[in-house]
């Protein structure tokens, strides 16, 4: 027998595990449980940021700053960078 359950991540809760447990207890034998995670094709970070007006404005401003050499922080060593974090 095969049981396929498709759920969204927010639906995985104690109640779901209890339903699975009840199914297993009703049958005899051993069981193999496989979990498959399907992800929708993720957007890249830039596309995600460009969707929101404020994020888009800030991102484009930061790109312009880099082009003009403005508002940049430079470090002369890895240790200096670590200290700033």
At 17-70, the pLDDT tens digits run 888 888 888 777 777 777 777 666 656 777 888 888 998 899 889 999 999 989
pTM for this prediction: 0.40
Specify the pLDDT at position 3.
72
Q: Where are the alpha helices (DSSP H) in the chain?
A: 14-25, 45-51, 53-68, 78-84
Rounded Cα–Cα distance for residues 61 and 55 (Å) = 10
Radius of gyration of the chain (CA): 25
**pLDDT band with cut points at 50, 70 and 90 for residue 8:** confident
Query: Do 76 and 84 contact (CB within 8 A), yes or no?
Result: no
């Amino acid at each position: 027998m095969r049981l396929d359950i498709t759920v969204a991540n927010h639906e995985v809760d104690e109640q779901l595990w209890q339903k699975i447990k009840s199914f297993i207890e009703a049958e005899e034998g051993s069981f193999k449980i496989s979990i498959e995670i399907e992800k929708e094709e993720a957007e890249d970070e830039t596309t995600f940021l460009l969707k929101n007006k404020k994020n888009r404005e800030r991102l484009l401003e930061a790109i312009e700053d880099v082009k003009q050499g403005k508002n940049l922080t430079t470090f002369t060593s890895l240790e200096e960078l670590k200290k700033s974090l």
